Structure 1
Amino acid sequence: MIKHGTIYEAIGGFPTINKLVTHFYKRVGSHPKLIPIFPADLTETARKQRLFLTQFFGGPRWYTEDRGHPMMRRRHMPFEITPERRDAWLECMDAALTEAQIEEPYRTAIFEKLTMTAHHMMNTPDK
């Protein structure tokens, strides 16, 4: 259980979010199931993810300041997000959490929140 503050503060703030996103997109950029729905240049995608995760885990509201209300499901509707792609995304995030050395109980709390979000993003059945 998280005892005080936010997940963002507990894991070390933006430097840790930055590390997590860097490790995550290194994997996404080479994952055969994810390549079709991501741009070849992940720079802007990673930038937006850093802003979103900062806000999502209790840090500054940089995503809203930069992009407006998150509306994550709507923003993801143009992309075919299947259960298989959801699982691939979560696999990449799970490995990135390990590589970024995010410790318990925060690692589990982060992964659980992102798992719920990933389920919510699905919009296409597996083919």
Structure 2
Amino acid sequence: MENSGNDINLIKAFAKKSRNDLKSAEVLLNYMSYADASYHAQQCTEKIIKCVLILNNKFVRTHIVSNIFEGVVESIENEEWKSALKNLIPDVIEIEEHWVLPRYPEPSGDEIWDPVKKWMQLYW
């Protein structure tokens, strides 16, 4: 598969931003800011997945990438890569399930669902 220089530059930019999101998640975890750490972990994952999608000419502008990633993985001919990437799919799906919840408080009946409070209850 052949990629243009623009594709390679886009991949480099996504990878760099992904590393920054990972660093942010690590710092936030150290301060027990679990909701925000979860958000940055998802962003890190999404950007690295987008690198794989770009390499396979499947780039999309969406935050939910697991289904597209899964399709790309199925089409990979190299069995070693296919197996390694396939093992990541459940984790990608799981982190996508958590990416919206940490971002916003939400009305829940007479209460307000507070992501910071909820994550502190889960992990503290």
TM-score (norm 2): 0.35
Higher helix share: 2
Higher strand share: 2
TM-score (norm 1): 0.35
